[in-house]
Structure 1
Amino acid sequence: MNGSIPASLFELSCLEYLDLSYNLLQGHIPKMDLTGTLKSLRELHLGSNRLNGKFDFFWLRNCAMLKDVDLSGNAELAIDVKFLTSVTPFQLRALMLSGCKLDNTIISGPNLFGTQRHLQFLDLSNNNFSGSLPNWMFTNEAPLLYLGLAHNSLVGSLDHLMWQQQSSLQMINISMNYFTGQLPMDISSVFPNLTALDASYNNISGHLPPSLCNIKSLEFVDLSNNKLTGEVPACLFNECWSLEFLRLSNNNLGGPILGGANTHLSFAAGLYLDSNYFEGPLPNNLSGEMSIMDFHDNKLSGELDVSFWNTPSLEFLSVASNGLTGQIYPTICNLTGLHYLDVSNNDFEGSIPNCSSKLMLYFLNMSSNTLSGFPSYFVNSSNVVALDIGYNRFMGSLDWIQHLYKIQLLLLGRNMFEGHISAELCHLQHLNIIDLSHNRLSGSLPPCIGAIPFGYHTDDDNFFFMFYGISFDVRLSSMDYDIPLVLYDTNNILQGFTFSTKGNIYTYSRGFYNLMSGIDLSANMLSGEIPWEVGNLSHVKSLNLSHNFFIGQIPATFANMRAIESLDLSHNELSGPIPWQLTQMSSLEVFSVAYNNLSGCVPSSGQFSSFSMESYLGNTDLQNSSRGNQCSPAPGSMEVEDVGEAADDPVLYIIGAASFVLAFWATVAFLFCLPFGQRVMLQL
């Protein structure tokens, strides 16, 4: 629904429930101050539109029955929460003003909020409030169930707040602010019925209060991205049976992981202890219904021994960037629910077990270890979407990659793979990024590679957008408010996937799939001519064919690669001129054809005017006219209408030859038929 809100709606005296949320409504909200109207209105939901102008709560002075107001998600709607009288005719249960154009000063005083004695749900998030957290929010008589202040710019120390017991408060979200200080040590006394606490992305310091374990209703805790220190109270792991989600990522916590105990965990939604200083081995005996365990970027040691793990619901496991050693044992195959596994940046060695008949992995990162042998696991792994086994010692041919029908990220660089690149590679139509660099591959490049739609996929092709989430219901009498405190998407778990482009190695932690599409075949022994079909890769942003043995000319069809940002053809045996058509590559930022056998002129128009001579080093017959050299275009470099390889088409040669022969005999016949022609022919 779009357009503006008709004023006649607010003349319906019997209207009790009005929900126009999640539309494309725009314009001003009609002024609702008509005497005698809207006396029956109980709920007003106008959230998630494009409304603008002003909304004054004084307009609702006739709505004595009003209970719920939702104006959230209207970024240009200026809301006035002042009230001309100290007593309002209505007592709200829910007031949702997230993402509106609220006056920054309203946070300092109760205003309308102080008059609401029955308020259960207050959401003021995403409003860019500044200043300190006011005490009135925790001294108000209203029986708040939910308080949302996330995504603001609030400051101040939690130590200075006048904490009073808030027995009704179940959910607190103060994430993404600038709070300092410590959590109250008696937090279980202040919030005895707390269900969810999100204080992530602040500057909170100190230790985790052990009294958290005394809150038996606690289900959700996110204290990530703070400055917490010390050890995690062991009771959080073995006594808080209701706790489903615990995220302590990116702090300064230490000590043994999971309190050093073999235990049964209850974190059905997720356990995130990554990016801390936890040390010691992983527990040998672990059980529970966890779906996600993220321990990456710590100081863990020992082996990854899951022989006695009883975790049938585990779908995501990351132990990347630790100091784990030994082999990856076949018992990993017993984690039959596993879809995401990241063991990169450790010291694992030996071969990997063949679990393809038991595991259905979508994401697998084993890069930067010393794993070796032939990766037989992948022969029948048709469900893999992202695979990184680079920087290891794997060997053998690459025939197995033809079975990766859904693969989008294929990173096999820095191994010892050998043999040819088979045309079967071209069947991988979902492929977005491929890195086969620094191996021992030989032979020619299959022309059909130009038919792979790198970087161009429909939403149906995008396997990355899979979400894990947890939400909590706050029950408010006649209606429920479903509050998604966290949505965990797979973009967040790609922290170890790297790709080399523009002369640098980039590690992508979020949005990797959307940010980059590229091909890296550098540092192999590939030979032959570069197929002109490669120019059909119009969505590829990076192409690296350097340090091989390619010969022949640079295909003029490369000009069709409209999205290309980095093109490296250096250290080959290419010859001939640089096609003038390449100057049409308007997105090109990095270019190198150094150390080839090129001749003719260095292009000086378009993006080529910004490239230094370092891009052309080692080509003795290549001249730079911009430096005063006499440089005439080399043969074959003149402009043509089409950037294709039409000149090399054998059909054109046949047609040209036939036309010449036909014209010759037609001339002979014409001359023979004329008297003058007959005399000439007789003389001949």
Structure 2
Amino acid sequence: MHPLVFSKPPSTQTTVMISISQQLNGTQLPWDVTKEPNPCLWQGVACSRSNNSSIISLSLSGFGLSSSDFLSEVCRIDSLQSLNLSNNNLKSISDGFFNGCREIDGLKVLDFSRNRLVGPLPAFRNFVGLEFLDLSFNSLTGEINSQLSQLVSLKCLNLIFNEFSGSVPTQLGKSFVLEQLQLSTNKFHGEIPVEVLKYKNLALIDLSDNNLTGSIPEAIGNLSKLQLLLLSSNHLSGEIPKLISNISTLQRFEANQNNFVGEVPVGIKRYIKILDLSYNNLHGLIPSDLLSQSSLQHVDLSYNLLRGTIPERMSSRSLVRLKLGSNSLSGSIPAKLATFQNLVYLDLENNSLSGSIPPELGACQNLLLLNLAQNDITGTLPVELGHLTKLQVMNLQQNKLGGQIPPEIAQLESLETLNISWNNFTGPIPSSISNLKRLANMSLQCNNLVGSIPATLGDLNFLLELNLGGNQLSGTIGVLGIGICVWIGGAGDWITERRNNDGGAFRFRWELGRLLQGNVGG
């Protein structure tokens, strides 16, 4: 293939670009007209491929620009289609930009994100071709009324991470072609206006992290192209509209950290990939077919008032996260969870689950987190869990597990946190536990463990916290890491490793009989 060769842009555009380079002299802009006279070959400049190349795109992102006065010159480039000024230090957009660039009918993309813009949102008059406007990650304030109403071609509006207040804006272009509305992390209040739902092409609505109240309008179900609906971290209430289940395009629905009541809508799983309704007041049963959708990837219903059992109908090969903790679920842990071969996070803590841990969970070999804490689980620790070589966190505390700690636990080579405290485990601590080289936190307290503390615990170089109290252990411990907190007795018997003046590790040799509160000295 022959290399792409651009002819020079029209002489008027070349003159403009030279003027801009002179105005921006002293910034991080790497333009040097003496080395390269063709602006089409300058960094951040794109030209059309016609015989008489015209400048169509200008990207000045990340060049440390602090003044926008040069924009009046930019607006003389009447062929401009895209202008990217993101990641700079601009505090305002000059009047010269609005007076000049609004006449460029072909200008489709404006990106002023990640600057230091302050004050109210400027009025965008004309700009008839503008399709994409990004002012995110600035410090813009005030209400949004009619400043954007004349943007007849606007498809994507991104205003996240600003300080806008007032109601959610509804005048977002006369032609109603808006596809993406991103308003998260502002100070909008009031209810979600029904008027915003008249934009029938909306595929993305992000109103998360505001101060919105009231309920979700029933008309949300009429948005037949909606793919992402993000409403988390507001003060929304009422029931979740059942019509949401009719949106066949909806792939991601997040409404966590609100005050929703009622039940999880039946049928919502049909098309969804990511569902997060955590931290609400939802009650009732988990829909029996919720986990049977083949494309389901993430379900978080934790911190609600859900009851009943975990659904047995499971067929999703894509599920990565399942979080049902802090509800009132009962019954046993389904062995069919093993069908989720790609499961990474399984969190069922703080329920009333009973029965034993299914040994089939050992087949979920992609698990990073297994949290079954604070339930009524009985039986022994299945040796099959030793197959979870990627597991980083195992939280099984505050159950009724018993028997000995299986030596297979030493196969969990990636484990960083092991908490099996407040159970009924018996027998010794396996000496092979020192094979868990990445272990940072080990909590074995308040069981019925006996025997000597393995001296090889001193080989755990990353260990930061060791809890052994409330057992019948004896023995000594050699050198441990710097900064480690150790609990071997009652509440308050914390010992913290520290450095000597010479910087070496201070050697602890505990004779546990001298700290006899729950452990017995040997």
CA distance in 2, matches of 1:117, 1:177: 31
CA distance in 1, matches of 2:134, 2:410: 51
Structure 2: give runs of 5+ residues left out of the alignment. Answer: 9-13, 15-27, 46-51, 478-507, 514-522
> Structure 1's 255 and 630: CA in aligned 2 closer, same or farther, altered over 3 A?
closer
Deviation at 1:279, TM superposition (A): 3.9
Alignment of 1:335-484 (within 5 A): 335-355=247-267, 359-378=270-289, 381-383=292-294, 384-398=296-310, 400=312, 402-455=314-367
Specify the alignment match of 1:251 in structure 2.
186
Alignment of 1:438-587 (within 5 A): 438-455=350-367, 517-587=368-438
Deviation at 1:175, TM superposition (A): 1.4
Of 58, 69, 89 in structure 2, the residue corresponding to residue 154 of structure 1 is: 89
Contact 1:328/1:353 (<8 A) preserved: yes
Specify the alignment match of 2:498 in structure 1.
none
Specify the alignment match of 1:274 in structure 2.
208
Q: CA-to-partner distance for each residue in 1:372-403, whole Å, 9 max, x for gaps? A: 33323426723232222222333333351544
Q: Secondary structure at the match of 2:205?
A: strand
CA RMSD of aligned residues (A): 3.5
Query: Which structure carries more helix by proportion?
Result: 1
Deviation at 1:579, TM superposition (A): 1.6
Of 593, 596, 601 in structure 1, the residue corresponding to residue 444 of structure 2 is: 593
CA distance in 2, matches of 1:232, 1:571: 49
Q: CA-to-partner distance for each residue in 1:49-76, whole Å, 9 max, x for gaps? A: xxxxxxxxxxxxxxx9xxxxxxxxxxxx
Deviation at 1:196, TM superposition (A): 2.5
Superposition misfits of 4+ residues, deviation over 6 angstroms? none
Contact 2:401/2:425 (<8 A) preserved: yes
Specify the alignment match of 1:218 in structure 2.
154
Q: Secondary structure at the match of 1:558?
A: helix
CA distance in 2, matches of 1:327, 1:211: 33
Q: Secondary structure at the match of 1:376?
A: coil
Deviation at 1:409, TM superposition (A): 1.1
Q: Which letter maps to 2:72? A: F
> Structure 1's 316 and 97: CA in aligned 2 closer, same or farther, altered over 3 A?
closer
CA distance in 1, matches of 2:280, 2:328: 14
CA distance in 1, matches of 2:110, 2:469: 62
CA distance in 1, matches of 2:290, 2:177: 42
Contact 1:159/1:182 (<8 A) preserved: no
Specify the alignment match of 2:458 in structure 1.
605
> Structure 1's 250 and 402: CA in aligned 2 closer, same or farther, altered over 3 A?
closer
CA distance in 2, matches of 1:412, 1:79: 51
Specify the alignment match of 2:125 in structure 1.
188
Contact 1:315/1:337 (<8 A) preserved: yes
Alignment of 1:22-171 (within 5 A): 41-42=5-6, 81-84=31-34, 88=37, 90=38, 92=40, 96-97=43-44, 118-125=54-61, 128-140=62-74, 141-158=76-93, 163-166=98-101, 167-168=103-104, 169-171=107-109
Q: Secondary structure at the match of 2:125?
A: helix
> Structure 1's 370 and 159: CA in aligned 2 closer, same or farther, altered over 3 A?
same
Contact 2:207/2:230 (<8 A) preserved: no
Q: What fraction of aligned residue pairs are identical, expressed as a percent? A: 27
Q: Which letter maps to 1:226? A: N
Q: Secondary structure at the match of 1:594?
A: coil
Q: CA-to-partner distance for each residue in 1:433-456, whole Å, 9 max, x for gaps? A: 11122222223223232222124x
Count of aligned pairs between the two proteins: 453
Specify the alignment match of 2:113 in structure 1.
175
Contact 1:379/1:403 (<8 A) preserved: no
Q: CA-to-partner distance for each residue in 1:502-523, whole Å, 9 max, x for gaps? A: xxxxxxxxxxxxxxx2101111
> Structure 1's 42 and 139: CA in aligned 2 closer, same or farther, altered over 3 A?
closer
> Structure 1's 122 and 334: CA in aligned 2 closer, same or farther, altered over 3 A?
closer
CA distance in 2, matches of 1:320, 1:152: 27
Q: Secondary structure at the match of 2:289?
A: helix
Contact 2:442/2:465 (<8 A) preserved: no
Structure 1: give runs of 5+ residues left out of the alignment. Answer: 1-14, 20-40, 45-63, 65-77, 99-115, 287-305, 456-516, 632-684
Deviation at 1:233, TM superposition (A): 4.7
Q: CA-to-partner distance for each residue in 1:21-72, whole Å, 9 max, x for gaps? A: xxxxxxxxxxxxxxxxxxxx4379xxxxxxxxxxxxxxxxxxx9xxxxxxxx
Q: Which letter maps to 1:81? A: W
Of 222, 226, 235 in structure 2, the residue corresponding to residue 314 of structure 1 is: 226
Q: Which letter maps to 2:125? A: S
Q: Which letter maps to 1:145? A: L
Alignment of 1:615-634 (within 5 A): 615-625=467-477, 626-629=508-511
Contact 1:325/1:347 (<8 A) preserved: yes
Deviation at 1:361, TM superposition (A): 2.4
Contact 1:159/1:181 (<8 A) preserved: no
TM-score, normalization by structure 1:
0.59
Deviation at 1:553, TM superposition (A): 1.9
Matched, 1:18 2:3: yes
CA distance in 2, matches of 1:163, 1:314: 32
Contact 2:350/2:374 (<8 A) preserved: yes
Query: Which structure carries more strand by proportion?
Result: 1
